């Protein structure tokens, strides 16, 4: 019987095992780097905070602004009025003016407006073939015939209404009474416009009433 050859146990080569371990370690490290980079990229894509974004304030359309909403459009006389502070519409004419006489604040053919401290204004309009100077004289004579007003105004100033040349007349009715009446007259596109102001309370602060009427006139615009 021959002697058995010694059995030699196979042990892995140390250098080969080291290469496998190094490769595995490198793969794990690379995988960790990829996971970290993915997390970083995901964090960049996500919102910085969990708070909901603030909505930008909505802009109100111009048509709904208070100034625009208050514009008064005359149903009969082809103008608009943007009432200044303290002014508002007191009612519109229920019928057209025929161009004769001198309607007052209570007539059905006037557009009426109320202003601060009792001052008021009203508007009428009618076709005319006269120029501004002649139409102003016609208006003054009609007022003198219908009301206790002088045939010649005490003041007569050049001004503009809605961009058109105008005359601003001032008088006391009756003369010497201290009751101030102002009338602004203009012609636009063949139509004569008459805007009159007074303060029925009869207060003596004419300067404030004059200033209020001029602010009222500044809001007039013509539609045609």
CA–CA gap between residue 189 and residue 164 (Å, rounded): 10
Whole-model pTM: value is 0.70
Q: For residue 203, what pLDDT is reported?
A: 81
Q: Sorting pLDDT into bands at 50, 70 and 90, what band is 114?
A: very high
b vs e for 192-212, b when ≥16 Cβ sit within 10 Å of the residue's Cβ? Answer: bbbbbbbbeeeeeeeeebbeb
The pLDDT, as a whole number, for residue 69 is 53
**Average pLDDT across the chain, whole number:** 79
**DSSP strand pairing (191-198 vs 180-188):** antiparallel
Average pLDDT over residues 153-164: 96
The two structure tokens encoding residue 196: 């009159």
Q: Rounded CA gap, 131 and 209, in Å?
A: 28
Neighbours of 132 (CB within 10 A): 17
- The answer to whether residue 103 scores a pLDDT higher than 70 is yes
Distance CA 88, CA 143 (A): 25
Tens digit of each residue's pLDDT (9 = 90 or more) over 196-211: 999 999 888 899 999 9
What's the whole-number mean pLDDT along residues 140-167? Answer: 96
The pLDDT score that the predictor gives to residue 72 is: 97
Q: Would the pLDDT of 173 be above 50?
A: yes
SS3 for 4-46 is CCCCCCCCCCHHHHHHHHHHHHHHHHHHHHHHHHHHHHHHHHC
The per-residue pLDDT for 10 is: 37
Residue 78, pLDDT > 60, answer: yes
Residue 62 clears pLDDT 80, i.e. is over it:
no
What's the token pair of residue 132?
A: 């501004």
Structure-block tokens of residue 194? 């008459």
| Distance between CA atoms of residues 195 and 37, nearest Å | 79
């Amino acid at each position: 019987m021959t002697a058995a050859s010694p059995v030699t146990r196979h042990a892995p080569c140390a250098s080969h095992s080291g290469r496998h371990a190094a490769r595995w370690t490198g793969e794990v490290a690379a995988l960790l780097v990829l996971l970290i980079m993915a997390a970083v990229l995901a964090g960049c894509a996500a919102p910085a905070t969990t708070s909901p974004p603030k909505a930008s304030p909505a802009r109100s359309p111009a048509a709904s602004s208070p100034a625009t909403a208050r514009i008064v459009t005359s149903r009969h006389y082809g103008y608009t009025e943007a009432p200044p502070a303290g002014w508002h519409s007191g009612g519109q004419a229920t019928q057209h003016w025929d161009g004769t006489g001198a309607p007052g604040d209570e007539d059905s053919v006037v557009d009426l407006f109320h202003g601060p401290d009792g001052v008021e204004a009203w508007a009428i309009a009618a076709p005319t073939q006269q120029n501004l100077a002649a139409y102003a004289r016609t208006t003054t004579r009609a007022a003198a015939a219908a009301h206790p007003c002088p045939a010649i105004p005490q003041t007569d100033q050049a001004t503009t209404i809605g961009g058109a040349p105008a005359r601003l007349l001032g008088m006391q009715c009756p003369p010497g009474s201290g009751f101030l009446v102002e009338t602004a007259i203009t012609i636009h596109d063949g139509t004569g416009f008459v805007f009159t102001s007074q303060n029925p309370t009869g207060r003596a602060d004419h300067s404030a009433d004059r200033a209020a009427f001029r602010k009222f006139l500044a809001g007039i615009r013509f539609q045609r």
